[in-house]
A and B are shown apart, each in its own frame.
Chain A
């Protein structure tokens, strides 16, 4: 087979940075078709080549097509990890397996969820959204009513303010990208612009904030500045084309593109316009990170520019020296991703990655870079910039401003602080195993 044919020359491809990182367009400009030469990451050992025969599934008709498709039975391992699968009286986290998916949006069944008291089983026919407080006309909307309004669709990531929090540990927690960064996902959201409904209700000029509240048992509430509400806030009704998943806020949620996940209130039932923030539990306490001097940040709002490598990452084994594609995701609350650089030598030298178009504001941007791994130790990192000029800080910069724990974090579900947007470093050893390190 192909192993008897001459391999395309691989050695003349343009090197862009140390330890084998190639130019982002190396394969496009070399003229050689190298797809067959790129080895993949494996979850287990790759079988050796052997003579081809028909597999059993090719010699008989397949199974009937179901009404609602689910992934292949061979993909059963591609699931979220749960911290509280029995729904005990505490918060539940479901983390997205970024190392087992690709592209730029998250399938609905894999979208991350944090729920502080489970997902309410809401009858959409009985659900109501009320807008009141400092408005000229308090209004009530049903799902059917909202369905008649002009709608918009947009890609947007949603990220928990506590995503990546274990990177505040003074020693690197031995975990993979799902554990470390699984509390961010990206979807296409479709719904009605909140500004449309606020304008209809008539905004009293004294209104500076709104308090959004869910129909969950905790009636979770968060205060949102009116400026954000009138900018790009949406009452989202659809998630990747279908009705929003129960855990993500069925039948409607507040979408505040780029802003702290918890503020994107799920199961939204009430919006009250007010002249001051409510100082709810989640804004006055939970999502207010403590600083090294004992003060705390309040109203962090933004999920700042960030990137991390998903391929390779812990759990994905390198199947021998040769060509790989380093790939990951980047995003920012303050505009489209402008640039991502990748290092394979722990940050000594950097190569600019190719960015998947379209680069949408406040949505995932997939970055990719060809890498010729020589089989030796390597440390992979990524760093992102957005079009507003914001740059992902180094870990040292984050720690200098925000501090780190005094003792190593060992609980993968711990939140020693919030809003970590520094880099993540993956060390590749000679055996091809990938582990989390600090450099």
Chain B
């Protein structure tokens, strides 16, 4: 506990140098962070920058307004053949249902709370058909369908449900414009939580 005047002085100098260096380094890191913009107030900023081009193969998000829909197109007639080859084994001939859900038809939703939800009686957006088919189907080999095939299958399902005409072409422009029968059938449960 006994400390000479000299050592007190030395440690004070040391301390002030330390403070100076700390402020300098902190300022440097702060400035550096602002310049390059990757230091977070909460975290160490270790995320590796990646370009949208490098994410492209994973980016299969389709929004209801059509954002994200790829180039390509398809018709019900084309979709019918693909469906028979790749989908009917589970969803039944012409989507009438099998070990997996029926894709055509459906009861009115006023039939009861347990009414089976279908494309025709429930799905509010046609883009969801494209999105789910592309990301998840066929069940054993997901994401093996080409964009053309997904457009064609989407056209086939919509056409079989009489939501679009038999000859209508589905593509990035036409698909988001398809008006689903139950588009206005929804109520947000907690409206204040919807952005």
B-binding residues in A (CB < 8 A): 89-90, 117, 130-133, 136-142, 145, 148-150, 168, 192-193, 195-197, 199-202, 208-209, 211, 213, 217-221, 225-228, 269-270, 272, 274, 276-281, 284-286, 288-302, 402-406, 409, 414, 416-417
Contact = CB atoms under 8 A, between A and B. Distances in A.
Contacts of A295: 109, 185-187
Interface in B138-195: 139-140, 142-143, 185-190, 193-195
Contacts of B186: 288, 295-298
B81 interface: no
B43 A197 contact: yes
A131 B114 contact: no
Interface stretch (B7-15, B52-60, B71-79): B52-60
A232 B132 CA distance: 28
Interface in B78-102: 90, 99-100
Given A145-B47, A276-B64, A219 B127 contact: no
A301 B195 CA distance: 13
A289 B112 CA distance: 11
Contacts of B112: 290, 403, 405-406
Contacts of B108: 294
**9 closest A-B pairs (Cβ-Cβ)?**
A139-B47, A416-B114, A294-B110, A208-B195, A298-B186, A294-B109, A218-B136, A281-B132, A196-B43
Interface of B: 37-38, 40-52, 55, 58-65, 67, 90, 99-100, 108-110, 112-115, 117, 122-125, 127-128, 131-132, 135-136, 139-140, 142-143, 185-190, 193-195
A269 B195 contact: no
A276 B176 CA distance: 14
Contact of A281 (B41, B131, B142, B185): B131
Given A199-B40, A296-B122, A299-B189, A137 B113 contact: no
A197 B47 contact: yes
Contacts of B67: 274, 276
24 contacts: A89-B99, A130-B58, A133-B61, A138-B52, A139-B47, A140-B49, A141-B46, A141-B47, A141-B48, A199-B40, A200-B43, A217-B142, A218-B136, A278-B64, A281-B131, A288-B122, A292-B113, A293-B110, A294-B185, A296-B187, A297-B188, A300-B189, A302-B190, A406-B114
Residue among A221, A292, A402 facing the most chain B CB atoms (10 A cut-off)? A221
Contacts of B45: 200
A220 B132 CA distance: 9
A272 B60 CA distance: 10
Nearest to B141: A217
B193 A89 contact: no
A206 to B, nearest CB: 11
Contacts of B187: 291, 295-298
Contact of B195 (A133, A168, A226, A296): A226
Grouping DSSP codes into helix (H, G, I), strand (E, B) and loop, the B interface class, with mixed when no group exceeds half, is loop
Given A145-B47, A197-B43, A288-B186, A405 B114 contact: yes
A178 B112 CA distance: 26
Contacts of A298: 124, 186-189
Given A295-B109, A295-B185, 4 more contacts: A89-B90, A142-B48, A226-B195, A402-B113
A192 B52 CA distance: 24
Given A132-B50, A201-B47, A217-B136, A196 B113 contact: no
Given A90-B100, A132-B50, A417-B114, A280 B188 contact: no
A140 B64 contact: no
A150 B90 contact: no
A269 B135 CA distance: 14
Contacts of A89: 90, 99-100, 139-140
A277 B62 CA distance: 10
A280 B51 CA distance: 25
A140 B49 CA distance: 6
A142 B48 CA distance: 9
Given A89-B100, A150-B42, A403-B112, A139 B49 contact: yes
Contact of A416 (B59, B113, B122): B113
A118 B114 CA distance: 26
